[in-house]
Structures are given as structure tokens and as C-alpha cells.
Amino acid sequence: MVIKKLPQIGDPILRKRAKNLTFRDLRDPRTKRIIKDLIDTMRERGLVGIAAPQLGESVRIFVVEVRPTKVRKLELEPLRIFINPRINWKSKQTVVDYEGCGSVLNGKIFGPVRRHKSIVIEYDDIEGGRHKLKATGNLSIIVQHEYDHLNGILFTDKLTDNKKILDYDHYLKMRKDYHKSQRK
């Protein structure tokens, strides 16, 4: 089911620390439903990631997928489902890039955030198997953003420069100008 209205910044659910899922939770059909709702809602809204608290479910699950769109210049990423994730390594090197969020003015506001360039994350799959993934580039940034949601943190908490906040139209224009300059 596609969730039409995501909780927005100011809603206490976004500030709660989400709960780990037990082995029994993983077998609960409700968990499968949350995952399906996350995937459907992410795709319908054109997001590159979404975390369970954004559907009002305070559990440690998020999904990530980068599909091609007209305006997106990100590297494509397959669908990945992260359950009980833990980031256990972060690069010292950091990068600053613009982010938005479906739970902050419905994804219509963007600002610069500093993130670790690379991370290693461990997570469960729905069968309870543990996986380890090293992420760099866009995937690393998206994963850190979604992971923060599980700890009640929003990207607006981490802006490097409030004066660089942009609305949707100015953000698109900036991206377009940037890519134009890259082609020269």
C-alpha cells in the first residue's frame, strides 16, 4: 500500500529511537507489510530511500533504491532492505552534498550536509541472515541519511550552512547549472 501522507518534521515519531526487530518480529507478517509499504511508498514518491518511522512505524528498517529519472544524476542502485542495521566503520574523509527528505516539507527543501565518504554497514535480511556492505558515493550518503531516521535525526539537524538552503526550483536549477558546467 502506498502511504499518501508521510509524518512531517515536528511529528514526535520522527524523533524517537526506533526499536530493533527480534527473530520473531521478522516472521511476523506485519514486518513484511511494513517492508512492502516502504518499497511502494519510496517508488511512488520518487524517493531514493525511506525509513520505517516515516510510515509511523518505530522499528529499525529502511529501504534504498536509486532508479533513473529525468532530473536525477545519481548512480543507480538496486533495491536493498536493511533490517537492524549497524554502521560499524566510517571513513575519516567526508563529503558535503545537498539532501532532501520526504518528511521535511514533503521533500521540497534541500540543504548541504556533511557525511562520511564511505561506510561499512551490517544488517539482517528478512530470514535473519546477517550481511555486511561497504558503501561509497551516493549509496553511502543515502544509507547514512536513512540510518539517522532510526535514531530520530533529520538532515536539517546537520546542515553545514543554513544560508544555502534551497527550495525545489532553485535546487533543480543549481543541479542543472552544475551539470552544464561539468560538460564543458
Q: Which residues are known catalytic residues? A: 146
Q: Which residues contact 82 (CB under 8 A, 6 or more apart)?
A: 61, 62, 63, 64, 121, 123, 143, 146, 147
Output the CA angle 36-134-17, nearest 5 degrees.
Answer: 55
Q: In angstroms, what is the minimal distance from the CB of 181 to Co ion?
A: 28
Q: How far is CA 8 from CA 12, 100, 107, 171, in A?
A: 9, 13, 10, 20
| DSSP-derived 3-state class of residue 146 | helix
Beta-strand relationship, 109-116 and 118-124: unpaired
Q: 153 vs 183, which CB is nearer to Co ion?
A: 153
Which x/- pattern, by CB under 5 A, does the window 75-104 give for Co ion?
Answer: --------------------------x---
Q: In angstroms, what is the minimal distance from the CB of 50 to Co ion?
A: 7
Q: 18 vs 101, which CB is nearer to Co ion?
A: 101
Cβ pair 117, 93 in contact under 8 A:
yes
* Residue 109 binds Co ion, judged by CB under 5 A: no
Instruction: Provide the grid cell at 50.
Output: 525511506
Q: In angstroms, what is the minimal distance from the CB of 115 to Co ion?
A: 13
Q: 83 vs 143, which CB is nearer to Co ion?
A: 143
Using CB under 5 A as the binding criterion, the count of chain residues that bind Co ion stands at 1
Q: In angstroms, what is the minimal distance from the CB of 145 to Co ion?
A: 6
Q: How far apart are CA 151 and CA 136, in angstroms?
A: 21
Place of cell 541519511: 145
Q: 21 vs 143, which CB is nearer to Co ion?
A: 143
Q: Using CB under 5 A, which residues numbered 165 to 184 contact Co ion?
A: none
Q: In angstroms, what is the minimal distance from the CB of 159 to Co ion?
A: 14
Q: 63 vs 101, which CB is nearer to Co ion?
A: 101
Give contact residues for Co ion (rule: CB under 5 A).
101
